[in-house]
Amino acid sequence: MKKKIAVLLSNKGTGSNLEAIIRSIKTGRVKNAEIVVVVSNESDAYGLVRARKYKFPTVIFDLSHYLREGKTRFQYDHDLGKMLKDEYHVDLVVLAGWMLIVSKYFLRYFSNKVINLHPGLLPDGKKKWITLVGGEKVLAIRGLHTNHAVKYALDHNFPVTGSTVHFITEKVDEGPVILRGEVPILPRDTVDSLYARMKKREHLILPEAISLFCEGKLMVRRGKVIISKGTHFL
Ligand code: GRF
C-alpha cells in the first residue's frame, strides 16, 4: 500500500519543495507514496495554488481563528494531528515551510513520522557544531527560518551552509538527521543567490528522504537515523 503523505506549508515560502515532491512522485523517483492532503495555516500560501493545480485536497487550518475563540495552541496541534490521522489516514507528515513549532500534542499521533526541512545544517541532538563532509566544523543554525537562516551563515562567514531533513521531536531543531545537503558559500553570494542554490539541493534531499521513509528504509535508534542498505538496517 502506498504511504499517505500530508505536506504542511505556510505563506512564508513559495511551495517549491511541494512541487519537487509532486514531480518526484510523478516521475517515479519517489515510489510507494501519494500526497493525500496539503495544509496551510493561512489562506494565501502559494503552495496551496500549486496543490490545487495538481488537484490535491487542500485544507486551511487557521490558527488565528483558534486563538480568537479562546482555544490554545495545544488544542490546535491536537486537532490538526487528529484530523490528519482520522480523516486522511496519513502515514508521513512533511513540513515543507511550516513555520509553527510542533508540540507533543501533534507528535503523539505521528511519532517518528514527521519530517522537517530546515534551511541550515544541523547535527543530531543538541550538539553545537557540525562536522562537514570535508572535515571542517561549522556552528549549527537553529531557531531561524528561511532567509534569516541563510543570512546568518553569510553574516558569520561560514565556508559552507546547507539544508537538513530531520525527524521532528519535541526539542526544536534537535531531531535525528536523515539527510543534509551542503552548499559552499561563494565570495559574491547574496541571501538570494545562496538561497537559490540551497533550494536546488532541498529539491533533491527532501524527495530522497521521503523515498527512504516510504520504502521502509529509515529507522531511529538512540536518537540517530539508521538508513538501511538493501533489506537490513546496518
Ligand atoms: C525551505 O527553504 C525550507 O528549508 C524552509 O522553508 C522553505 C520553504 O521553501 N523550512 P519553499 O516554499 O518550498 O520554496
Q: What is the pLDDT of residue 132?
A: 92
pLDDT in tens, 105-133: 999 999 999 999 999 999 999 999 999 99
For residue 27, the one-letter residue type is T
CA 185 – ligand 1 centroid, Å? 18
- 3-class SS of residue 7: strand
Active site residues: 118
Cα–Cα distance between 140 and 121 in angstroms, integer? Answer: 6
- The per-residue pLDDT string of the chain (234 residues; one tens digit each, 9 = 90 and over) reads 999 999 999 999 999 999 999 999 999 999 999 999 999 999 999 999 999 999 999 999 999 999 999 999 999 999 999 999 999 999 999 999 999 999 999 999 999 999 999 999 999 999 999 999 999 999 999 999 999 999 999 999 999 999 999 999 999 889 999 999 999 999 999 999 999 999 999 999 999 999 999 999 999 999 999 999 765 554
Closest ligand 1 atom, residue 17 Cα: 13
* Alpha helices (H) along 54-184: 63-68, 73-86, 104-107, 146-155
- 3-class SS of residue 130: strand
For residue 80, the one-letter residue type is L
CA 198 – ligand 1 centroid, Å? 10
Q: What is the pLDDT of residue 234?
A: 45
Closest ligand 1 atom, residue 116 Cα: 10
Percent of the chain exceeding pLDDT 90 equals: 95
Cα–Cα distance between 182 and 203 in angstroms, integer? Answer: 13
CB atoms within 10 A of CB 70: 7
pTM of the model: 0.96
Angle at 139 between CA 134 and CA 141, to 5 degrees: 115
